[in-house]
Structure 1
């Protein structure tokens, strides 16, 4: 029995919903045609150009020629003829490029670098090229799968909704760059930006697991589960409390975690090891090393399950070198060395699980669901099962297609709205002015100034809007009172306020800047977005006053900054009182 028994679509017209999960190593896409009176059905793209066998996932790889033109995408890059042409014509391979979009506050495993982007290409450029390819594949799949597919696509594409998945740690700045790339790739037009939505990969994965029936015996009202998505680039961990069944309702039980420690870093560690071993030898050739890493990924990495046993990696040819552990062109890697390739990722998974399970005090969950490519490793699975046994926690790795289930889960997120509550991962606030306190040593380090109201202030005060670990229901707005004095001579009514996050050790300092560091922003603070709104109506509703300093007329414009954090994207609005009545005005959220 599955718990998401969907009801027929109640809309009045046909709508196409597309979800795209671009992972660090693999990509998948799904779609749903919402038809009035029909229960929604999810379809995966199972055919991609030049696939040897039908599969829902394809590599997130592009080949570029010397002038930066994309020449091959996804499954095309695995074709032997295409690879040969890439070598002959000196094409550049773009892989793991998604991680170049990562937020600065997410550190990678030390001593492991990302492959560089192609020359003259930004990460946004690569996103545009790849999203454009995925769009054409979706178009062709729909056109080929239905008798009137061409007409269906032509009719539904102009109003198509698009869901893009992101790791837990991606924020508004990354979402904005992805949205702009989707517009440039013509997934939607410029006027349709708001038809692009975002959901975290972990949330989409848990919804798919629940939708598929693979965790039905764990879906008990009041119980807690943890979803651990061990992907190619990131490890995303989120805890949920089951608040209801039929329909399924989930609430986050702890702030989500994100680590840049996915499966690609195991490959990179293996590459560094083999490069060091083979240095100066007959096999110290870039092409041989590249092929050896591919062989390791396809064989030893997938089968490794015992640190006492060594594994063979094919280098080519039949030469021997006993001093290097090479026999008939095969490098023997000790099991302890292979275990060390996995160790940083496994340690990050355990750290994240510990934070979600015990971070709020007490055991928050007794069941962990593992999904993602790295979770399919027998070694990773066995180490996490052992970790769970030591703590009385069951660790499950559902069988079947859950390895790349995020695209279907994203559709479930869009249609079912299953998750009702989320946790704030950081402190959120704004820069406020503070009445100057001459006896305060901290205040005396600042240069005070007078407002039009005659009061002496200093700036750079911390005004909290949302505390870290705050439980947030969908649609809930958090407000911070704000005021600005506007002279009657003012003609520009747009006012902008930066929203800060604090990621450091709690509690946040009272002042944003540090006088001892030249008034730089204190470590831990970061501007996450800027909220702008038109205050003319609020200004006109405010009382006219006379400045005791200048004698000019001014108004103290008081309003609330409202931010909504209960969804994967931040939204905002302004609030003020007009003749005792609540009034709301639109606000624009922008990112650098």
Structure 2
């Protein structure tokens, strides 16, 4: 469906919300005008340059072409440039952002990511495509919304942007997208924190699924999963229904993200065709490329493994080769040729779906372009049926579930609790504990407060798998100290102006003791997410000298790390008391789920 209506009238401030899903192969945009006293309506942008308006397709190719370092065309208009000059076209560029935990070594060795055009950065590509998507969103809004031009001009400086991203992406990828959004003039440095938001593709997809199909099967305490099969990643999230009226969903475990989308089938198809045609008159890169285009548009959407043979266009009607089973410009491919092209990728999807089995899911909802493949649906359904899991397919191949679901999420929030995908915590200097820190006994140092401490320990804030509600908040006490005998009071202003604590994430199931090794390097498996900074220099003048063990004299400053849940992310900040007034440092936003 191309629109979504809320059941109640909106009573908040007037604002336009634009949601973008920039996929590996295609992109899409949804939007809503939040007008007080009205029933909210979500819409998909359905008119893109170079594409027929009558077919209602909401997707546009994720391509940007360049000429002499200047953007030439985007979307469907860049496809022609790709066919003529692929080196100057950015395509499948989303793969450049996939973190190591998504891009597995087996694929990084076998799968060559297409290079970006010379001199063009990944931020630049995203910015150019975002600007293109926004220009066409503006045009579509103004022509399909009553008084659209006046509304847009009135609210254009306060538009809220929501970007859908894979489950496995976190703050590193969000920083790049934020820079791109600023380059594209969607937001500014000053208002990006307020107007630019992120949602996982999995959460957007569950809203799309619920809004686009009947869910009489969904009862209180029903456990189900949404598997979003995209172009380059497959995201799996398991939910439990908390209530049906109103509908409320709760994540029951950390979500999964695996690099096993539709483009990998294309690559397997390419290898199969190259092997089959090797040494023949048809062993030509241009012919292979043309065949892959035909595979993508003709064979891939219809292949279901039910018949023995399928045909694929390979050339003109005059082209024939009986030995290769080529007749009148079409090659015949068997099930034995085609099934292996799909099976390796499907096996990876099934492995990621194992969490649905572990958590006794009763249903699996399939969404995403790759899930429209009849063969993918059939194999997944048969495999999951053995575990008494019913498969439900939702959607329309012409749609983008994450794009439509992102705006539905803003209109009607079904998910009320989410599970931490990693263990988050800070790098600290704890008091030496002979049981916990025996391996670093040789690194004990007596610090300014007179206590024996060791560096590089991991202080857990939120363990992996913790289900966080909308009101969850944590306040953790910290302090820093300086030797009063060697530190002049006037030096404290400078030192207090550089207070910070490093934040780490750990993906494993256990909780490690250390986040840094003995040389101060990040240990394997840990990821430095960000550093929380604050300027506490105003406290310097009022610090009192304290006395610790062994008559040590030191200055001490106490502060809190405040971690709280908001939407699909963690917000963290430093907080301190300044002359009886609670002060807070800037808020740092960290993704914590999916």
TM-score under structure 1 length normalisation: 0.89
Q: Deviations over 1:429-485 (max 9, x none)?
A: 221113346896511453x33311222322011211111111111241234432211
C-alpha change, 1:571 and 1:541, in structure 2 (3 Å) is farther
1:513 is matched with which residue?
516
2:61 is matched with which residue?
59
Checking the alignment, whether the CA contact within 8 Å between 2:229 and 2:369 is kept in structure 1 is yes
2:439 is matched with which residue?
442
The alignment's C-alpha RMSD in Å is 2.8
User: After superposition, where does 1:160-179 map in structure 2 within 5 Å?
Assistant: 160-179=159-178
C-alpha change, 1:88 and 1:116, in structure 2 (3 Å) is closer
CA distance in 2, matches of 1:438, 1:211: 56
1:544 is matched with which residue?
545
CA distance in 1, matches of 2:188, 2:577: 37
1:379 is matched with which residue?
375
CA distance in 1, matches of 2:250, 2:82: 48
CA distance in 2, matches of 1:303, 1:402: 15
CA distance in 2, matches of 1:161, 1:201: 18
User: Which secondary structure state, in structure 1, belongs to the residue aligned with residue 180 of structure 2?
Assistant: helix
CA distance in 1, matches of 2:394, 2:144: 30
1:422 is matched with which residue?
418
Structure 1 stretch 247-256 or stretch 475-484: which is displaced more? 475-484
Q: Deviations over 1:306-331 (max 9, x none)?
A: 17623222221333334444333333
Q: Deviations over 1:115-140 (max 9, x none)?
A: 22221112111100100100110111
Checking the alignment, whether the CA contact within 8 Å between 1:228 and 1:235 is kept in structure 2 is yes
CA distance in 2, matches of 1:3, 1:286: 45
C-alpha change, 1:566 and 1:346, in structure 2 (3 Å) is farther
2:116 is matched with which residue?
117
User: Which secondary structure state, in structure 2, belongs to the residue aligned with residue 545 of structure 1?
Assistant: strand
C-alpha change, 1:87 and 1:4, in structure 2 (3 Å) is closer
Q: CA deviation at 1:381?
A: 0.6
User: After superposition, where does 1:360-509 map in structure 2 within 5 Å?
Assistant: 363-400=359-396, 403-436=399-432, 441-446=438-443, 448-486=444-482, 488=489, 489-492=491-494, 493-504=497-508, 506-509=509-512
The answer for unaligned runs of 5 or more in structure 2 is none
1:569 is matched with which residue?
569
1:233 is matched with which residue?
232
C-alpha change, 1:187 and 1:258, in structure 2 (3 Å) is same
2:131 is matched with which residue?
132
Structure 1 stretch 420-429 or stretch 450-459: which is displaced more? 450-459
Equivalent residues, number: 572
1:316 is matched with which residue?
315
Checking the alignment, whether the CA contact within 8 Å between 1:131 and 1:182 is kept in structure 2 is yes
2:202 is matched with which residue?
202
Q: CA deviation at 1:91?
A: 6.0
User: Which secondary structure state, in structure 2, belongs to the residue aligned with residue 333 of structure 1?
Assistant: strand
TM-score under structure 2 length normalisation: 0.89
Checking the alignment, whether the CA contact within 8 Å between 1:429 and 1:465 is kept in structure 2 is yes
CA distance in 2, matches of 1:380, 1:429: 39
Q: Deviations over 1:93-118 (max 9, x none)?
A: 22111121111221246222222222
CA distance in 2, matches of 1:23, 1:321: 38
Checking the alignment, whether the CA contact within 8 Å between 1:208 and 1:405 is kept in structure 2 is yes
CA distance in 2, matches of 1:565, 1:216: 29
1:291 is matched with which residue?
290
Q: CA deviation at 1:554?
A: 3.5
Checking the alignment, whether the CA contact within 8 Å between 2:418 and 2:568 is kept in structure 1 is no
CA distance in 1, matches of 2:395, 2:522: 48
C-alpha change, 1:445 and 1:190, in structure 2 (3 Å) is same
Checking the alignment, whether the CA contact within 8 Å between 1:208 and 1:402 is kept in structure 2 is no
User: After superposition, where does 1:346-365 map in structure 2 within 5 Å?
Assistant: 346-358=346-358, 363-365=359-361
Checking the alignment, whether the CA contact within 8 Å between 1:452 and 1:550 is kept in structure 2 is no
The answer for unaligned runs of 5 or more in structure 1 is none
Q: CA deviation at 1:372?
A: 0.6
